[in-house]
Amino acid sequence: MKTFDAIKADLASGAATCVQVTRQYLDAIERQKDLNAFLAVFPERTLSQADLIDKKIAAGTAGPLAGMVIAVKDVICMQNERVSCGSKILKNFISLYDATVIRRLQDADALLIGKCNMDEFAMGSSTENSAFGRVKLPQDRDRVPGGSSGGSAVAVTSGMSTASLGSDTGGSIRQPAAFCGICGLKPTYGRVSRYGLVAYASSFDSIGPFALTVKDIASVLQVIAGYDPKDSTSADIPIPDYNSSLTRNVRGLRIGLPKEYFGSALNEEIKSSVEKSIDILRKNGAIIKEVSLPHTEYTIAAYYILATAEASSNLARFDGARYGYRSDDADTLSAMYVKSRSEGFGPEVKRRIMLGTYVLSSGYYDAYYRKGQKVRRLIQQDFFEAFNEVDCLITPTSPTTSFKAGEKMDDPLQMYLSDIYTTSANLAGIPGISIPCGNDSKGLPIGLQIMGPQFGEPLILRIADFLEHQK
């Protein structure tokens, strides 16, 4: 596995070409097909692009990501390629256009090698909900890689791509990054365009990168961030130079530890590992302070009320009438709708659609959805008040390390609690990054999460990069 810096050095010295680098990644994908990380691979397209970029490098006109091979979660549209969202209902759907992030990566001369497996419609925490089979954790194939962006995380940690794109609605980048032992960033809501991202919960969804290093995360973010008139929620705010923020200096920074995130539910090995990183920060001049986010206990409930409500609305478009899967066994319009959705959606998607429809229904809207929105505001306020006291927050990414496949499939609540430390950032619209933080006694990766104020990506990248270089 090579970082982008190592690849650039090989390209500059003539030790490798983009075509050779691409072939190495294609070989790695072929060797590790059993991981089921990819739903589609683009060898001809990528090799052709690599040849063009080699010519650009020779001419001195190559873009900033020339030589970076990137895998894309199959919930992000690429023109003339399938976008299945891990679902039978979109199994044969071909995208008519590129997502904004895809266009920006291509303009920067990144090489887009394939589409990654995922929990169906990004609904899950283990990548076991895909209609195309589960994704396996490379370190232990009996375990899960996290979700819903499990394929994207596995592509990076197993050396099948330099970086990858995922989406994060409640932790779907950070939690698999933690399970797989790599870096994963959820940007501030509005920092990266959602145009071309198939929606799960529109007020929560964010596109972000996975990579081996914080520097590579910063390099990808530099390209994909920024205002997009095609996305009405896109923030028209200048983009800082993210790599210049990696100063490896934390002296004087005020770092908060939310006491609610270090309770009895947290695995002791994870707690110990995170505390070691906190000690390193303290010894290097950071000011460590305990803070409180008093409404933390309501985050999972609020998230699963609001996100499923949005999902029930967003997924209403998949009805078998206009595109996607249509049942052959229907003789009336009503039967076509019912059978197409019943046959096309998997169990977890159906569960969330039903829950979301219920909380929006007459007589229950005020009791659930409206109350959920009020709680969301209280959670946001907790973070705003905390950031008046400290510059950022450090927490575990997940209460456990990777669990066995099938272990939580029969208990949705236990599966949902896998995201107990990540959903709050989506509710508040703030950025969060997960970085590796050692291993447990089984050798499984542990993740540390850093959350910052809105548009505080330079700060959390700076702290993450500092910790990365203390190993």
- Show which residues are catalytic: 73, 148, 172
- DSSP lists the bridge partners of residue 168 as 206
Kind of pairing between the strands at 183-186 and 432-439: antiparallel
Euclidean distance between CA atoms 365 and 257, whole angstroms: 35
By CB atoms closer than 10 A (0-12, 13-18, 19+), residue 337 is middle
Omega of the bond prior to 148 within 30 degrees of 0, cis? yes
Closest of 164, 170, 175, 109 to residue 311, by C-alpha: 170
Q: What gap in Å lies between CA 127 and CA 164, rounded to an integer? A: 16
The CA-to-CA distance between both ends of the chain, in Å, stands at 18
Using only C-alpha atoms, the chain has a radius of gyration, in whole angstroms, of 21
Query: What is the spatial distance between Cα 178 and Cα 448, in angstroms, rounded to a whole number?
Result: 7
CB 449 within 8 Å of CB 266: no
| Closest listed residue to residue 76, CA positions, set 190, 165, 172 | 165
